[in-house]
Amino acid sequence: DAGVIQSPRHEVTEMGQEVTLRCKPISGHNSLFWYRQTMMRGLELLIYFNNNVPIDDSGMPEDRFSAKMPNASFSTLKIQPSEPRDSAVYFCASSRRDLEEKLFFGSGTQLSVL
Amino acid sequence: GENVEQHPSTLSVQEGDSAVIKCTYSDSASNYFPWYKQELGKRPQLIIDIRSNVGEKKDQRIAVTLNKTAKHFSLHITETQPEDSAVYFCAASSRYNQGGKLIFGQGTELSVKP
């Protein structure tokens, strides 16, 4: 298995632009998490899905952030409009809750908003 | 909601010494406690986990202990090696195998000096 796949690995954009981050979870996993990592706040949970349904989005910073999971093999995190304070590493992670609880992370997307 | 506190934030030891990282959690219903290791520029990777029905778990040089009454758990690394240098994160979750969320501590940067 290729593991959790995220794209792009790096994204540099200008303030005000729309940013879309993509994630393909491990095949067969039924939970998907989006985390944001910064030096100041560590690993923050933004939102997570169980069986493609958003369960808890209380960590989403504001309305500029949105996430979707249209099917079991794809999720997006969108920021519109982006701001410099959104600069961080965004990780996607997945797990199979009922059989194996371990959470596996993707390689992350390094986002820089200028 | 769950809150996880981790300390120390930085830890420096000599090669061969032991290292201990401690975490406390707030939700008494939490029942799953994984530890992740993150090397510079890489994704967090699971190194060991423990469930609330177990007080201690060991895997070679790594051990985790759990005190449910006091709501704290610790990571112990013995005979540290330079390759153990990384950031370590604890996490906690209630009802994780039923779809609950996983909340991380702030991380501990461990430096092992040769």
Note the pLDDT tens digit of each residue in A45-83. 999 999 999 999 999 988 999 999 999 999 999 999 999
Q: Which of A42, A98, A105 sits opposite B97 (nearest CB)?
A: A98
| Average pLDDT across chain A, whole number | 93
Whether A25 has its CB under 8 Å from any CB of chain B: the answer is no
Q: Which of A42, A102, A108 sits opposite B107 (nearest CB)?
A: A42
Within chain A, what is the greatest distance between any pair of CA atoms? 43
Note the pLDDT tens digit of each residue in B18-65. 999 999 999 998 989 999 999 999 999 999 999 888 889 999 999 999
Place of tokens 């939970």: A31
Task: Please report the number of interchain residue pairs, chain A to chain B, with beta-carbon separation below 8 angstroms.
Answer: 48
Contact B9/B108 with Cβ under 8 angstroms?
A: yes
Residue among B32, B27, B8, B25 nearest B88 (CA): B8
Residue among B33, B111, B31 nearest B74 (CA): B33
In whole angstroms, give the CA distance from residue A88 to residue A36: 7
In whole angstroms, give the CA distance from residue A51 to residue B67: 33
For A30, A82, B35, the CA distances from B21, given in Å and listed in that order, are 31, 36, 10
A1, pLDDT greater than 70: no
Q: Best of B102, B104, B106 to disrupt the A interface by mutation (most A CBs within 10 Å)?
A: B102
Whether A90 has its CB under 8 Å from any CB of chain B: the answer is no
CB B104 to CB A43 under 8 A?
yes
| Average pLDDT across chain B, whole number | 93
Residue B53 is predicted with a pLDDT of 81
Place of tokens 């079991």: A72
